C-alpha cells in the first residue's frame, strides 16, 4: 500500500532540492506502486514506494545542479 505521508515527505524533499511539482514529484501509481514524474524526467519512473523514495533521497541532484538537463530513469536505476 502506498503511504500518502511517505509520498508527501518525498515531495517535500524534492521541494527542498528546488523542484516545482510540475518539474518533479512523486505520485501514487497503479497496483500499489509509486511514480516519479515531471518535466525534468525523460519518462516516469515506476517502482515500489521505497525504491522511489530512495531515488529521491539519494540520487536526484538539486535543481540548480541539474540545470537544463533531463534525468533519465535508466540512469537512476543503474545507480541504485
* Sequence spans of domains, the chain: 4-78
**Predicted local confidence at residue 1, as pLDDT:** 62
**Predicted local confidence at residue 2, as pLDDT:** 72
| pLDDT, greater one: 2 or 52 | 52
The rounded distance, in Å, linking the Cα atoms of 4 and 79 is 26
The rounded distance, in Å, linking the Cα atoms of 58 and 80 is 9
Integer CA distances (angstroms), 6 to 23, 66, 68, 75, in order: 19, 24, 28, 23
Residue 8 has pLDDT above 70, yes or no: yes
Strand order in the sheet with 34-37: 25-28, 34-37, 45-47
Residue 56 has pLDDT above 90, yes or no: yes
Q: Answer yes or no: are the C-beta atoms of 79 and 59 closer than 8 Å.
A: yes
Give this prediction's pTM. 0.93
Amino acid at each position: 500500500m502506498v503511504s500518502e505521508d511517505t509520498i508527501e515527505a518525498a515531495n517535500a524533499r524534492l521541494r527542498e532540492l528546488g523542484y516545482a511539482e510540475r518539474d518533479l514529484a512523486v505520485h501514487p501509481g497503479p497496483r500499489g506502486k509509486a511514480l516519479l514524474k515531471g518535466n525534468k524526467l525523460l519518462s516516469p519512473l515506476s517502482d515500489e514506494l521505497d525504491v522511489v523514495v530512495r531515488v529521491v533521497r539519494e540520487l536526484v541532484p538539486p535543481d540548480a545542479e541539474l540545470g537544463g538537463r533531463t534525468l533519465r530513469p535508466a540512469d537512476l536505476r543503474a545507480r541504485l
